[in-house]
Chain A
Amino acid sequence: SQQGEEDPQALSIQEGENATMNCSYKTSINNLQWYRQNSGRGLVHLILIRSNEREKHSGRLRVTLDTSKKSSSLLITASRAADTASYFCATLRADDYKLSFGAGTTVTVRA
């Protein structure tokens, strides 16, 4: 069954603005990962945050994890047209070590 749910489903922003998307999940996790998928391509791993971490940065990406609320957020700062893609959160469930993906947030960055 689907573990993670992203919110919003779609997001349209102007170049230079920040984009924030959220992910909620249901069961205990080992880690949470964010992936990007450009149209017609495979998924690319962006960042992994473990269950004992609260925040992680990678370049223009900032991920937070709140295990008490079973939620995570991905912030992309100073967005660029090339950030236009779908973003997926994936949770590694603690009970069976299966990576479960949400349905994604489609981000459009307008030039």
Chain B
Amino acid sequence: DTAVSQTPKYLVTQMGNDKSIKCEQNLGHDTMYWYKQDSKKFLKIMFSYNNKELIINETVPNRFSPKSPDKAHLNLHINSLELGDSAVYFCASSQDSLAGTYEQYFGPGTRLTVT
């Protein structure tokens, strides 16, 4: 059974396009996250939602907009894609409402390439 799943796994698109990445977890967790991992493997948190409410919103361009239709789903929409958005995006979830007190479960990642 897949715990945290993301679609698509690979996404190649041109500058200026708008794209979405979907994430679903079947662990019954309350909190979900989006991370960006750059080419140097540095992993940085972007957003965190707890029970559909935004609790962490790091300094990311407002071209990035997360949406949580229910606590099992957290999607990431990116407008006007730029070359610098190329990275691997990971979704994760955790059990607790105080984000990070427990371990996080990661999805397999979405490799976004902007040309």
Task: Give the B-binding residues of A (Cβ under 8 A).
Answer: 2, 30-31, 33, 35, 37, 40-45, 48, 86, 88, 92, 97-101, 103-104
A-B interface contact total, Cβ < 8 Å: 56
Contacts of B99 on A, CB cut-off 8 Å? 97-99
Interface of B toward A, CB cutoff 8 Å: 4, 35, 40-45, 56, 90, 92, 98-109
Given contacts A103-B42, A104-B41, whether A92 and B100 have CB atoms under 8 Å apart is yes
B105:A45 contact, CB within 8 angstroms: yes
8 contacts between A and B (CB under 8 A): A31-B100, A42-B109, A43-B90, A98-B99, A99-B99, A101-B35, A103-B41, A104-B41
Tell me whether A2 and B107 are in contact in the complex, defined as CB-CB below 8 angstroms, given that A30-B101, A92-B100, A97-B98 are known contacts: no
Min CB distance B113 to A, Å, is: 14
